[in-house]
Structure 1
C-alpha cells in the first residue's frame, strides 16, 4: 500500500467526485434523448414530423447511454455495498427502467419497418414511455436517497431490505421525479430547437420554456421540503476516513432539516441551488427567444447544479438508511479496497478522455439541422 501515491481517503473522495461527474454526464448527454422521447407526442403531429424528431436523437442515443453503463460499472467496482443494496432493494424499479430503456432501441428499429399508421403509433408511444418512465424513476430514486431507504445490516454484514416498490412512490419522491421529468423535457426541447426548424421547433420552444419554468418552481418546492420536512443524517463524532470499509463502525444522528448542515457549514455551496434555479429560468427565456444552443447550455447548467445540490446535501452519505441510520452507506465505509480504487482510477484516466474525444467527434460530424430533405437523402434514417 505504501507504493500507492494517493492515500485511501483521497481516493475515496476522488471516486465520489467521479460518480458525480458520471451522473451529470448521463443526465446531460442522455437526458436530452429522454426529453425528446417524452416530447414526441406533443411536438410532432404528422408522420413526417415524428421522423424528424426521431432522427434528432436516433444517431446518438446509443453513445449517450454509455454514461449510464459506465456509471453502473463504477458503482459496482468502487462502492460494491452501494451496488448490492440499491440493485437488490430497488429491484422492481430497476426492472421498470430496464423495460422502458429496452423499448427505445426496439422502437427506433421497428417503427419504420411497416408503413401502417397503427403500427407506427404503437412504437411512437413506446418511444414516449422509453423517455418518460426513466426520467421519472431516476428522479424518484434521487428523492428516495434524501428520504433514506429501509435497509440494515446484521452483525455479519448481510443486507436486509424491508421496504416495497410502492413505498418508493411517496409524495416527496414523486415531486423529485417531476423535477427530473421537467428538467429533461426542457433539455430535450433545447436540442430540438437546435436541430429542427418549422412547427416542430416552434412547439419545442413553447413546451420547453414551460418545462424549464416548472423545473425552477418544483426545485424550489423540493428544497423547502428538504429544509423543513425531511429527516437528514449526520455522522456523530469523527469518522475514520481511512479505515477498512465497514458500514457498522459509525454512529449516526438524525434530525429534521439535517440535510442542510453542509450548507450551513460551507455557505459557498449555496451557489449550486442558486445556479439550478437561475439556469432553469435562463433556459426558459432563451427557449422563448429561439436561441437553442444557449438554452441547451443553460439547461445543462441547471441539471448539473441540481444534481450537485443533492450531492452536497447528503455528503458524505451515498445511501442513507431510514430504518437504521447507523447502517447508512457513506463513501468512507462502503468502498472497495485502496488498491482497487487506485487501479480503477488509472484505467479511468486513460479511457474517459477517449470517450469524451470520440463523443465530441461524433457531434461534430453530425452537426447541422435535421430536415425532410436530409432524411430523403439518407436511406439509413429512421
Structure 2
C-alpha cells in the first residue's frame, strides 16, 4: 500500500518520538519512516523547531555522580519542559563532554572514548580506538570535534592527538590528526595544522556551526607582556583544512574566561571574569569581509545582579541561557534586562565549574547505521 502525499506531509511534521510509535501501525508506515528520503524531509521540516540539549551532572539515590542529558523545550509563554534522555550504553561516566551536534546526532567523549548517539532513537555507536602511534607510545586526544560534511553527506569526528610515554606527555612528539568517517566506520590520518599552537580541550568553549568546528587555541608564547597568544582554531568538515582566527585584544586574558555562541547565525564570543566580585559579561560579534578577513565588534555588556558562572547559549535573539554560581539555569532577556531562574539544577562538585553544557538541538530520525544510509540534507 502506497502512503499518500498528504499523509507523508502530515507525518513529516510530527516529532520523532511519535513517529517511532507509528512504525507499528502498518508495514507501509514502517517502510516510510525508515526511508532516508523521508528522514531527510522530516529533518528539514524540523529546523524551525529547535530545542536545547543540556548536559549536567547529578547525584543519584546511591550518592553516585551521573551524567544527565536533557532536552529543553520552551513554550511561547517561556515556560520550559524537560525531557531526560536515557543513555543506552554502560561506559558513560560523569565527565563525558558534548563535542558537537549535527542533524540530531550528538558526539560524547571523555578523550579516552567517544560515542555518537541519536537521543531520539537511542541508536549509538562507539568509535574504534585511535590508529595513530609514535615510537610505541599511546595516543591521547588533545581535542575532538564532530560535525557534518555536506559535500560528501557524511558525519565526521576529527581528533587531534599527542602521545604518552612512561605516564608523561611527550611534549616533543608531533601533534597528529585523524578523522573518523561514519559512512566507513574507521579512522584515517590527515595533515596537522601548519601553524604553531594547538587546540585546547575546553568543552565550555568548543562548538560546531554550519560545517565548521571551533576550538580554543593556545600554546604560542607572546612577545609582549600579555602572556600567551590566544586564538580560535577552526576546522572545515568538507575541505578538511584548519584555520586560525584572532580574538579581540581589548580584554585581559589573565582575568577573563571565554566561550563561543551563535546569535542570528553569527558567531559571538562571550568574555566573562574569573573573579566572583566582577560580573560584567561582554558579548562580541565576529564579522567577515569580502576577503574573509575577520573582525570583532562588541554587541553588548550584561551586568548580572547575582553571581553568574558562565553564559550557555542564546535561545532566541533576545534570550540568553546562563548558569548561576549556585548551580541553577538562568534565563536573561537582553531587551528587558530581566533574569528568570528556571526549575533546572545541576550538581555542585567541589570547586569545579562549568557544570552545564548546552547546545541548540534538532530532533531527528537520522540513523547511525552509516554504511547503509545515504541522506541528502
State TM-score, norm by structure 2: 0.28
Using CA pairs under 8 Å that are at least 6 residues apart, name the structure with larger relative contact order, 1 or 2: 1
State TM-score, norm by structure 1: 0.27
Which structure has more strand as a fraction of its residues?
A: 2
